[in-house]
Amino acid sequence: MNEQNAEKFLDLILEKLIAGDAGLKSTLAHQPELTRQIRPHLEAASWLKEHAVCLDPAPRFTQSSWLRVRARILSEKKKGLPWLNTLGLRLQSLPGGFLLPFVVTLLLLVALTGSGIVFAAQDTLPNDSLYEVKRSFENAQLTLTLSEVGQAKVLATIATKRLHEAHWAAQEDRMDDSQTALLSYITTSDELFLRLNQLSPQEFIQILDHIERALSLQLTLFDALGATIAATSSPNFEQLSQTFQAAQVEFITLQSLVETVRSEIPQESTATLSLLDDDFTPTPVLWQSPTPTESTFNPASSTPWSSPTPDYPFQSATPTGDIYPPYTPHATSTITATPEGGATSIPSTTPSPTPFYQETFTPGPTQTPDYNSSATPTLTASPWPSKTPSATPSG
Amino acid sequence: MTNKTAPIDAHLIGRAKLGDAEAFGQLYERYAAAIFRYVYARVGEEKDAEDLTEEIFLKAWRSLPNYEERGYLYSAFLFKLAQNAVVHFYRKSKRQAVLNGDEMETRAEPKVFLDGYFERQELHQALSKLPEHHRRVLELRFFGELSCEETAQVMGRSAGAIRVMQYRALATLRRVLKGHYERAKC
């Protein structure tokens, strides 16, 4: 009986020891008899815990290995659509070969779209009842997009949507949902970054405009979200703020990549853009390289993409002063995104007939900011939200 | 890593089952380090442990459509996969399941030698002197950071049996360490 008590007591103490609970000593002090009995066990346990540290993975192991695992997952997803298996469809084993999964997905998509569920789901936020429908629809869109370029476009659109959801949820004081959306934004942007790095230079040029427009819109959303978070009194402020910072790092990473690519395009290549991209509007260019003289492009080289993976410049190379327009919410405004093909300015009063990021996507009924930002976003994202009264930080 | 995390896991698994890779990424973030430590303690080579950890999670992704909780915690499911992967690893490479210190020394690279090498060697030497089931309990509890209930599910025993086992395993380990340090003093 005594040994049984000791075993239970040891287990209780071990839970605290493994979790690094500060109340361990006081628990031991309350049971001097049992403590004496389990002393040798505790010595061995402490030794084990100390030595467990030497088995810890390298600092960035989790992140880097996840990138590898995800790349394999994505390639398997393309082939096998494992998420459809949840519907009980063993697609790989059915006759029909490679095309069958696409046909089934297409049928599901048509059925869902036709029934209006997908349209209803567009205005949902994380944890809303139809939110999973929205996400499934996006997954289906990704699956049905065959080209790498098209998939990157879809991912950019999805990332912008997540950021919009994060802002919308924050405005409605749904901070947990805002955080969920921000986390999704991080993963989607990460996936986009990976996908963009796999594109050939020609492919990248095809979607450069689209990605730049997405980033431009994201910059204004970050600005508005930062202001909303700074004004919140949520108990989860710290956590949300950290996620916001992480999301900004993802944004800056993408932005740096795009900027590098833009700066390495030779003039003649810019002229051929119109041949490659139907949406391309030659002048004026939204994202000029801030320092063209620093371009690493070597015309003699057969591969102008000398540094596809950029450093992570947290500061703009060419500071342009106050780049953050004051946040002025409009009671009845809707998202006025950059129209397709118009890469220069965002209209302030006339909403775009076709928001570039999604034809079917309509913002929710809540108050949304006027994305009347500077026409030429610079390479610095919003500063971290702080509890200071200033809601619109300057660059 | 306790049963308290089960509802969060269930939510993430639900999303991952729908094809949401990012939800699976969050599961990866939660468990990758623990799985790595457990595998590293078993195989003794950092590179092998990294490769096996990735394989385990890929297998977990592929198994998602078939995974149903039904009281079986996802952490336990992952460690069961890890256990099988280690067994398969040794079967495949025909290596000894327990590495002794001499082998470690010949295989150690300079970086490993500098970075916690002696601690790992001590750890392997001490654990290799324990009966296999005692060693597994301690590895799952301390390196995998599993609770008694989770360890019980991985090992197919009751939680009570695991408590008894860990009690005896730690007593044995203490004796092993005492002998080890007394020899070292001499």
Does A135 sit within 8 Å of B20, measured CB to CB? yes
The neighbouring-strand residues paired with A329 are A369
Query: Residue A278 pLDDT > 70, yes or no?
Result: no
What pLDDT is recorded for position B139? 93
What pLDDT is recorded for position A214? 93
Supply the mean pLDDT for chain A. Answer: 66
Contact criterion met (CB below 8 Å) for A335 and A371:
yes
**Rounded mean pLDDT of A40-48?**
87
- CA separation for the pair A111, A326 (Å, rounded): 44
Contact criterion met (CB below 8 Å) for A280 and A342:
no
The residue whose two tokens read 């740096």 is: A256
Residue A307 has phi, psi (to 5 degrees) of -135, 75
Going by C-alpha positions, the residue among A271, A251, A272 that lies closest to residue A185 is: A251
What pLDDT is recorded for position A373? 40
Q: State the pLDDT confidence band at B178, using cuts at 50, 70 and 90.
A: confident
The neighbouring-strand residues paired with A330 are A368
Question: What letter would DSSP give residue A388?
Answer: S
Query: Residue A296 pLDDT > 50, yes or no?
Result: no
What pLDDT is recorded for position A95? 45
Q: Is A69 on the interface with B (CB under 8 A)?
A: yes
Question: B121-165: per-residue pLDDT in tens?
Answer: 888 888 988 998 999 999 999 999 898 888 998 888 898 899 999
**Rounded mean pLDDT of A71-76?**
82
Which helix (H) or strand (E) covers residue B154, if one does? helix B148-155
Query: Residue B51 pLDDT > 60, yes or no?
Result: yes
Q: State the pLDDT confidence band at B22, using cuts at 50, 70 and 90.
A: confident
Question: A135-148: per-residue pLDDT in tens?
Answer: 888 888 888 888 88
The shortest C-alpha distance from B126 to chain A (Å) reads 10
By Cβ distance, the residue of B22, B57, B141 closest to A184 is: B22
Of A53-62, A242-251, A283-292, which one has max mean pLDDT?
A: A53-62
By Cβ distance, the residue of A10, A61, A73 closest to B36 is: A61
What pLDDT is recorded for position B36? 95
Which helix (H) or strand (E) covers residue A368, if one does? strand A368-369
**Rounded mean pLDDT of A270-298?**
39
Q: Is A67 on the interface with B (CB under 8 A)?
A: no
Query: Residue A13 pLDDT > 60, yes or no?
Result: yes
Of A45-54, A143-152, B91-100, the range with the lowest mean pLDDT is: B91-100
The neighbouring-strand residues paired with A355 are A339
Q: What is the DSSP string of A305-346?
A: -S-SS----SS-SS--S-------EESS----PPBTT--S--
Query: Residue B115 pLDDT > 80, yes or no?
Result: no
What pLDDT is recorded for position B53? 95
What pLDDT is recorded for position B27? 93
Question: A176-227: per-residue pLDDT in tens?
Answer: 888 889 888 988 887 888 788 778 888 888 888 999 999 999 999 999 998 8
Does A184 sit within 8 Å of B21, measured CB to CB? no
**Rounded mean pLDDT of B80-107?**
66
What pLDDT is recorded for position B82? 93
**Rounded mean pLDDT of B59-72?**
81
What pLDDT is recorded for position A99? 56
Going by C-alpha positions, the residue among B86, B80, B59 that lies closest to residue B153 is: B80
Question: A104-133: per-residue pLDDT in tens?
Answer: 666 766 666 656 776 777 788 888 888 888
Give percent of chain A above pLDDT 70: 56
- CA separation for the pair B52, B36 (Å, rounded): 8
Contact criterion met (CB below 8 Å) for A148 and A203:
yes
What pLDDT is recorded for position A337? 36
**Rounded mean pLDDT of B37-63?**
91
pTM of the predicted protein model: 0.46
By Cβ distance, the residue of A44, A68, A70 closest to B170 is: A44
Q: State the pLDDT confidence band at A96, using cuts at 50, 70 and 90.
A: very low
Question: What letter would DSSP give residue A23?
Answer: T
B47 chain-A contacts, CB cut-off 8 A: none
Q: Which residue, among B22, B104, B136, B158, would best test binding to A if mutated, counting the most A CBs under 10 Å from its CB?
A: B22
Q: Is A127 on the interface with B (CB under 8 A)?
A: no
- CA separation for the pair A193, A338 (Å, rounded): 22
- CA separation for the pair B22, A188 (Å, rounded): 8
Question: A297-325: per-residue pLDDT in tens?
Answer: 333 333 333 333 333 333 333 333 333 33
Going by C-alpha positions, the residue among A252, A262, A254 that lies closest to residue A304 is: A262
A96 in the Ramachandran plot: left (φ > 0), alpha (ψ -120 to 50) or beta?
Answer: left
Q: State the pLDDT confidence band at A101, using cuts at 50, 70 and 90.
A: low
Residue A329 makes CB contacts below 8 A (sequence gap 6+) with A367, A368, A369, A370
The 3-state DSSP class for residue A369 equals strand
More confident residue, A5 or B41: B41
The shortest C-alpha distance from B28 to chain A (Å) reads 7
More confident residue, B108 or A250: A250
